[in-house]
Structure 1
Amino acid sequence: MGVVLLEFVALFVTVLFLSYVAMILVPFLRRPRTVPGDSSEFEWHFFIPARDEEAVIETTLNRCRADFPEAHVWVIDDASTDRTAEIVHRMSLFDWNIHLVRRELPNARTGKGDALNAAYYALSDWFPSWADRSRAIVAVLDADGRLAPEALDYVSSPTVFGDPSIGAAQISVRMENRNDLGQFATPSRLGLSFSRFLVRMQDLEFMTTMSAMQMLRERTGSVGMGGNGQFSRLTALDEIARRYSEPWHGALLEDYELGLHILLAGYKNRFVYDTWVEQEGLLTMRRLVTQRTRWTQGTMQCSVYLGEIVRSPNFTNAGVVESCYFLVTPWLQVAGVFLWPLLLLFTVLQAFNYPSGPGAFFAEFWPVAGVTVIFGALPFIMWGPVYRKVVEPQLSRRHAWLLGLGNAIYLYYTYASTPRAFARVLMRRTGWAKTRRNSEALTRGPVASDV
């Protein structure tokens, strides 16, 4: 009876997941293109949280100022122990559009949300009282982030910030080192190959599966924000601050939490796939698992908003279903981490206890096993060919299918990140340290982390 119940639960979860995959794939392949607008119709402010970012901050500022000379750049130094603040202060002396927001201990290093709030209040103090705040757009970038040169025109589209009902927009994310790991690659041939694999998988993940989720949310009205390449209308941030005391809050997934608050406040969110922001792809499994543990725990924290979402008049029925599914998924994954190995163990035990022996058991039930493997792996493998079709058409079909197979293997990181996130929730551990940049990880070693 216990085995039958376990198999039924496994089948139910599998069917639910396959249905979701189909629901995100179709809108992604049929997505309409975004028509660019005129970025000069808006005023742009880039928020860049920076804690010990001397390795990348000067390059990032130079890129921002060269590509977007009309934008103001607000760097939030979160009590750095290196030369981050010194570099930004020096550059601000010669460029009025560069602003340094300093946070000092003991009030610093309390989370990315608090750092972004500090920039919001600094911008509000600086912003002229007579100016139109609805024309001011705040973009959040990582310290290593690089916006596509046409990014501001795309988010200025009549269907994005050209529509006054739009409060926020998220653009797609690419790995800047997807084709060249540069000087930060590990010296061994095996390490180099694995790092290349990890970076390519992250690029595939962001540009296909994660973007496909966002395209479904475009239809359900529940688009979420990401930590890099998110844009918010200043008046939307003002409204959140009025309702909830400040724009950003304490979840480890503060970007998605912000998107929820914008929707709850009555604005709409958009996802723009046709432009991008680049960031470093992580080179080691340890750093990847640490990052994804934080994301999973952050999603679990945001599940406290389920009641507000269900009761809100600003969510469509489809938006409620999609948001609830997303917020419940980490808890389902916790069950899956234990369910699938347990189901495999029961199957093996059944085989050895089969009256005619294990050979007869597998001879009789191999079609079921085959179907299980196909339906269990194909939803992950198919993203390789989708990646080739949509993102990298120069890849061969063989390479695309190999990437898909690699994707099915790569996603097993959830068997490490999900239990760790769940354990941290149980222990009420909410602190975290930033992920080392590739140059830092190579020269200075791993950073101490609470994750």
Structure 2
Amino acid sequence: MPRTDHRARGKNAAGAARQRRVPLRHLVPVALLAVLSGMLLVRGYVHSSFVPDHRVRPPAATDRVPGHVLDGGPVVDARDPSGPAKSLDIPDRTIVLSFDDGPDPVWTPKILDILRAHRAPATFFVTGTNTARHPALVRRMVAEGNEVGVHTFDHPDLSYVDAATTRREISRTQLAVEGAAGIRTALFRPPYSSFADALDNASWPVTRYVGSLGYLVVFDSVDSEDWQRPGAGRIIANATPAYPKGAVVLMHDFGGDRAQTVAALPRYIEAMRARGYRFETVTQALGAPSAHTAAHGRDLAEGRAFVAAVTVSDAVTEGLIGCVALVGVLVVGRFALMLVLAFVHARRSRRRRREGPQEAPVTEPVTVLVPAYNESKCIANTVRSLARSDHPVEVIVIDDGSTDGTADIVEALALPGVRVLRQRNAGKAAALNNGILHARYDIVVMMDGDTVFEEATVRELVRPFADPRVGAVSGNAKVGNRDSLIGAWQHIEYVMGFNLDRRMYDVLRCMPTIPGACGAFRKEALRRAGGMSDDTLAEDTDITMALHRGGWQVVYAENARAWTEAPESVRQLWSQRYRWCYGTMQAMWKHRGAVVERGPSGRFGRVGLPFVAAFMVVAPLLAPLVDLFLLYGLVFGPTGKTVAGWLALLGVQLVCAVYAFRLDREPMRHLTALPLQQLLYRALMYAVLVQSWITALSGGRLRWQKLRRTGAVESAPPVARQRPHTDDRRPVA
């Protein structure tokens, strides 16, 4: 085969690889969720939350336990599998202080302080979970001459588990000890153990098996019963052996309030020394080599890696818990504020309708601008809806270099008062500016080429312009194709999120965005703001913020309804929301100077911008953590509280949604999609937001993106007609 064919094939393969390569902006959101999920798994694993087994087996027969073990000392040496187990006792006038279940960040340091002050070593039987979470305390135990033993990882009764599980419980704890203190230990104490004479046919096989793994099994011979909190005096009495017998004394440094143990310990040490007792570790008392051996090589590296992973996951998870709390405050606060201010807005609207307009109604014709790029499937419906308007309008369709005959379709309709401007493809902002230059009237309405107006929409949009302080009016954009699941999700978002938000922002006088699908502007206000800008991808948000900074009022007209075609696929929705989200970030950054300005601009900067940042950037970015912790709670517990918390949050949102739907006079049936929207739709919006952050931080730039339309929204749904403010309902030239 000729060499050039190889080259061509290589180029084709490289091109195919480039096409298959997943963009970084898609990988990062998934990677972030994977990392966070991994950290939560580590936390759940280490915190013993994965269905912990706290069963304790009742006493059983003892006929299989050697008699010398039942009648012997508290230490059992079964390390020789071919020989009988040995029973070892503690010498007279010797106390082995032992503490179970720790370390604990509150009580263990206090106990170590007392032991160090009295120069009394002890033996700590630690769990793997607590060792991994508090490695510095285990390190301190060893450094101060104390001994450390294994007390399993999750504290189960080993008589209920098989040999493999027992081995795993011990090896995981050893791994944590290696990572924390750099040593291995040969001491073991089974959970829920008591004296050696309590061994039975169920627990004895466990002792034999643990011994075969190379461990001395240490029981106790005196129980202080400090876990019952009987008082410091009773703890001292319980821990005192019959003179001059030696003993392994059981106490606890974990498991709740250990204040009585801490109070009793120094008094106990002084009292026992006064009786001639000395304090030693297990191996010191037995005259045996130290139970500690240094960990090296792979074992040490794996232990340190494990402890480091737990430390990082704990720190990150604590931060995430704080973020979830912040999300809860933001979400509940936002919904509470939305409900209160939406109620205020509704009362004001009803009062204005009762009292009638204070100023003369706006009857002058207005110009409607329709920027269009390849809108052949929708543009006829859009223009026909404008022709039915009950307010006099001129319609200018700005064809932005369409290649599908959009302009030809409009011209073929031959509707009175409708003009077409053709231009080379230059983007939406340029198209709107071209339309503004050709607009004949002082008020300009802007809409998208895939949107249809109701007959009264234009009239409702221009009504607030009777007040000369008003520079722009936001309409009520609604989803027309809402019968699919993804359409229902967006419908809920539009009604509950966008429009309920706009009522709140209207009361606060800091409306951040006039939707491109339905908005009206005073030409003078646009001129002073410099027209529509292509500095951002959200030209509607950009111009709205610019108007606030120019001192104009921006208000909301709830009855100015526009029906738009929402994206019908996840890919199209992603593309749209990516542009919106990134454009909003750009607009916020562009107008950040308003924060330190005075007058109306300063008001918007110190009220509007923080609201947008908190509710449109921070809360959506952190919101998936709620779902992540929902899954965490379902798997690791507490399941009941987790489900109750999530349902409570969903209930708050449902209340807001019901009220929003009632205000907009929408049927409630679509709210059945709310639970799934909170799980799946929110995760999608998170990915979009992360992608927007990546684009912003990398200095990327997007162009005006065209969504594929189907023409699903042919006309506005029928509504009750309202009496117009003028008898001239015909479009004007």
- TM-score normalised over the length of structure 1: 0.76
- Measured against aligned partners, the alpha-carbon deviations of 1:200-253 in whole angstroms (never above 9, x if no partner) come to 222222122211111111121111311111000111112112xxxx33343111
Equivalences, count: 386
CA contact (8 A) 1:380 1:407 kept: no
- Measured against aligned partners, the alpha-carbon deviations of 1:420-441 in whole angstroms (never above 9, x if no partner) come to 222332251322321111259x
CA distance in 2, matches of 1:172, 1:393: 13
Aligned residue among 378, 403, 406 for 1:81 = 403
Unmatched 5+ residue regions in structure 1?
128-132, 180-195, 352-357, 441-451
Letter matched to residue 555 of structure 2: R
By relative contact order (CA 8 Å, sep 6+), the higher-ranking structure is 1
Aligned residue among 469, 493, 508 for 1:205 = 493
Letter matched to residue 689 of structure 2: T
CA contact (8 A) 1:387 1:400 kept: no
Partner of 1:122: 438
Could you tell which deviates more after superposition, 402-411 or 263-272?
402-411
Change in Cα spacing, 1:295 to 1:29, as seen in structure 2 (3 Å) is: same
Partner of 1:402: 672
Change in Cα spacing, 1:384 to 1:112, as seen in structure 2 (3 Å) is: same
CA contact (8 A) 1:58 1:87 kept: yes
CA contact (8 A) 2:368 2:445 kept: yes
Letter matched to residue 255 of structure 1: D
Alpha-carbon shift at residue 58 of structure 1 (Å): 2.4
Aligned residue among 644, 649, 653 for 1:380 = 653
1:432 aligns with 2:704: yes
CA contact (8 A) 1:382 1:404 kept: no
Alpha-carbon shift at residue 386 of structure 1 (Å): 2.7
CA distance in 1, matches of 2:663, 2:501: 15
Letter matched to residue 144 of structure 1: D
CA distance in 2, matches of 1:155, 1:66: 15
Aligned residue runs from structure 1 range 160-309, under 5 A? 160-178=464-482, 196-223=484-511, 224-241=513-530, 246-304=531-589, 305-309=591-595
Alpha-carbon shift at residue 197 of structure 1 (Å): 1.9
Partner of 2:71: none
Alpha-carbon shift at residue 117 of structure 1 (Å): 1.1
- Measured against aligned partners, the alpha-carbon deviations of 1:254-306 in whole angstroms (never above 9, x if no partner) come to 11111111111111000011231111132222211211111111111112112
Partner of 1:150: 456
CA contact (8 A) 1:151 1:276 kept: yes
1:321 aligns with 2:637: no
- Measured against aligned partners, the alpha-carbon deviations of 1:8-28 in whole angstroms (never above 9, x if no partner) come to 232123212211121112222
1:419 aligns with 2:708: no
Change in Cα spacing, 1:68 to 1:84, as seen in structure 2 (3 Å) is: farther
Q: Secondary structure at the match of 2:600?
A: coil
Change in Cα spacing, 1:90 to 1:401, as seen in structure 2 (3 Å) is: closer
Q: Secondary structure at the match of 2:381?
A: helix
CA distance in 2, matches of 1:4, 1:200: 36
CA distance in 1, matches of 2:554, 2:400: 29
CA contact (8 A) 2:462 2:520 kept: no
Could you tell which deviates more after superposition, 334-343 or 311-320?
334-343
Could you tell which deviates more after superposition, 328-337 or 260-269?
328-337
CA contact (8 A) 1:138 1:234 kept: yes
Q: Secondary structure at the match of 1:67?
A: coil
- Measured against aligned partners, the alpha-carbon deviations of 1:382-426 in whole angstroms (never above 9, x if no partner) come to 34433553345654xxx4652432432333321332222223322
Letter matched to residue 515 of structure 2: G
CA distance in 1, matches of 2:382, 2:670: 32
- Measured against aligned partners, the alpha-carbon deviations of 1:69-122 in whole angstroms (never above 9, x if no partner) come to 721111111111121122334456x73x22222212xxx23x311211111123
CA distance in 2, matches of 1:91, 1:4: 63
- Measured against aligned partners, the alpha-carbon deviations of 1:165-219 in whole angstroms (never above 9, x if no partner) come to 000001111222336xxxxxxxxxxxxxxxx122222222212221111111112
- Measured against aligned partners, the alpha-carbon deviations of 1:346-368 in whole angstroms (never above 9, x if no partner) come to x57xx9xxxxxx8xx63xx3454
Change in Cα spacing, 1:170 to 1:374, as seen in structure 2 (3 Å) is: same
CA contact (8 A) 1:137 1:234 kept: yes
Aligned residue runs from structure 1 range 33-182, under 5 A? 33=349, 35=353, 41-68=363-390, 70-91=392-413, 95=416, 97-104=417-424, 108-109=425-426, 111-123=427-439, 127=440, 136-157=442-463, 160-178=464-482
Change in Cα spacing, 1:44 to 1:378, as seen in structure 2 (3 Å) is: same
Partner of 2:622: 336
CA distance in 2, matches of 1:204, 1:330: 16
Alpha-carbon shift at residue 376 of structure 1 (Å): 4.0
Alpha-carbon shift at residue 162 of structure 1 (Å): 0.7
- TM-score normalised over the length of structure 2: 0.49
Q: Secondary structure at the match of 2:593?
A: helix
CA distance in 2, matches of 1:69, 1:337: 43
- CA RMSD, 1 decimal: 3.0
Change in Cα spacing, 1:439 to 1:70, as seen in structure 2 (3 Å) is: closer
CA distance in 2, matches of 1:139, 1:438: 24
CA distance in 2, matches of 1:370, 1:272: 39
Change in Cα spacing, 1:169 to 1:297, as seen in structure 2 (3 Å) is: same
Partner of 2:179: none
Q: Secondary structure at the match of 1:382?
A: helix
Alpha-carbon shift at residue 317 of structure 1 (Å): 4.5
Q: Which has the larger radius of gyration?
A: 2
Partner of 2:9: none
Letter matched to residue 145 of structure 1: T
Change in Cα spacing, 1:6 to 1:178, as seen in structure 2 (3 Å) is: closer
CA distance in 2, matches of 1:400, 1:199: 10
CA contact (8 A) 2:324 2:623 kept: no
Q: Secondary structure at the match of 2:465?
A: coil
Unmatched 5+ residue regions in structure 2?
1-313, 713-733
- Measured against aligned partners, the alpha-carbon deviations of 1:132-163 in whole angstroms (never above 9, x if no partner) come to x6xx2101111122222122332343xx1110
Structure showing the higher helix proportion among its residues: 1
Alpha-carbon shift at residue 52 of structure 1 (Å): 1.0
Q: Secondary structure at the match of 2:374?
A: coil
CA contact (8 A) 1:58 1:88 kept: yes
Alpha-carbon shift at residue 313 of structure 1 (Å): 1.4
CA contact (8 A) 2:385 2:454 kept: no
CA contact (8 A) 1:177 1:281 kept: yes
